[in-house]
Structure 1
Amino acid sequence: MLLTGGQAGEAPQFLRLLELEEKKPRVVVADKGYDSQLIRKALRGQSVKAQIPERGLAAGSRRRRKGRPPKVSKQLYSQRNIIERLFGRLKEMRRFACRFDKLADSYLAFVQLAFMRVCLKPYFSDTP
């Protein structure tokens, strides 16, 4: 997990996160926000398969890249919803979504606690 400023986007941090990864992934499944030549090139350089759909273009525009469009497995891409639902649950906590903490350390500690709370809830609750 990398902590950035609240206004920073997540896609620019992708390469830093990929370098930190202890175990190299075989496949990266991401949404259209990660569709960039830089990210695709970095993944190819590490022999990681990219499951990232191409961004849509405005009507009448030409394709951004030469060659055939990247193939995306619908089955693999549909598994992204697991992460999307996790972040949806986390954003229900106002403190996570609004980032009330002023210090990075205290916010990071809360984020870790929030992840633990969401992930452990099924084991310690009568209702899912």
Structure 2
Amino acid sequence: MDKSILDDELWALIAPLLPPPKPRRAKYPGRLPLDDRAVLAGILFVLQSGIPWEMLPKELGCGSGMSCWRRLRAWQEAGVWDRLHALLLAQLRLADRIDWSRCIVDSASIRAVGAGPKTGPNPTDRARPGSKHHLITEAQGIPLAVILTGANRNDVTQLLPLVAAIPPIRGLPGRPLSKPRIIQADRGYDHDKYRRPLHAQGIRTLIARRNTLHGSGLGKTRWVVERTISWLHNFRRLRVRFERLAIIHEAFIKIACCIICWRQLKRP
């Protein structure tokens, strides 16, 4: 197996989070289960390269693509990637890499091949089926939460769910970080109906108003979320949604967020 796909330090964090294998029967134990690390290497290869499951190279030792698909679904249902993301955010906070001065939200639409849950007619792509990635980051662009919806969902409808989806960020003694101080967004999120609940929680909003001249200056700090979306879509499997099941695509998104956090943690 090529260790450049999954380095030893990251695997040491992931391995304790994986659910234990099912007990084997004594009389008819069946075939030995595939190695978890090899299967994860196959999943990461599909995420980074965008190839179909059935074209996974046998040299990775991860079995068939369907075996990797089943394991990815089981790990997503077990909440492995949510726990890994929370762990990496805690380590980033401990390393003083979390800038909590503001959080920034944005979204991006992608084409979906075929129908399925959380798809819809994309108004920016001639109403072809599509999905939308809604993202919230801290001030430096580290991903805090991501939500998948149909491409026809308005951005502002996911503002409050994104804020609520931020996991408690531990890593230091005292109360974990969970409530942003300031939320920044573009004009697509301008609606007082969604501002008021944030203000009631003590969260300030810096959101450009509709029907006003451009030049609010928010782009000087808001650009980091667009860069993070670009980082997400550097994983080729996230550029076009091939998965009919939303849970599989959501697993890919969360793994990509974890890898981005890991890269920021290892950055000098």
TM over 0.5: yes
CA distance in 2, matches of 1:79, 1:9: 23
1:1-128 paired onto structure 2 within 5 Å: 1-21=146-166, 22=168, 23-56=178-211, 74=217, 78-121=220-263, 123=266
- Map of 1:63 onto structure 2: none
Secondary structure of residue in 2 paired with 1:114: helix
CA drift at 1:54 = 0.9
Structure 1 residue 36 displacement after superposition = 0.7
Greater CA drift, 32-41 or 115-124: 115-124
Distance 1:19 1:118, change over 3 A: closer
Task: Report deviation, 1:28.
Answer: 0.4
Q: Which moved more, 1:23-32 or 1:115-124?
A: 115-124
TM-score by length of 1: 0.69
- CA positional deviation for 1:20: 4.0
| Distance in 2, Cα, partners of 1:83 & 1:43 | 20
Residues 2-23 of structure 1, C-alpha deviations (whole Å, 9 max, x = no match): 3323432332111223344451
**Offset at residue 57 of structure 1 (A):** 5.3
Q: Which has the higher contact order (CA 8 A, sep 6+)?
A: 2
Which SS does the other structure have where 2:150 is aligned?
coil
Output the aligned Cα RMSD.
2.7
AA partner of residue 113 (structure 1): I
CA contact (8 A) 1:29 1:77 kept: no
- Calculate percent identity across the aligned residue pairs: 32
TM-score (norm 2): 0.36
Number of residue equivalences: 110
Deviations, residues 75-115 of structure 1 (Å, cap 9, x unaligned): x6522211110101222333212111111111111111222
Check whether the contact 2:238–2:252 (CA below 8 A) recurs between aligned residues. Answer: yes
Corresponding residue SS for 1:85 = helix
Structure 2 gaps, min length 5 = 1-145, 169-177
Taking the aligned partners of 2:239 and 2:156, their CA distance within structure 1 comes to: 18
Partners of 1:113 and 1:39 lie apart in 2 by 29
Determine the C-alpha separation between the residues in 1 that align with 2:248 and 2:197: 32
Closer/same/farther in 2, CA of residues 13 and 105 from structure 1, 3 Å limit: same
Q: CA 1:2–1:40 in structure 2 vs 1: closer, same or farther (change >3 Å)? A: same
| Preserved CA contact (<8 Å) 1:51 1:77 | no
The offset of 1:120, in angstroms, is 3.0
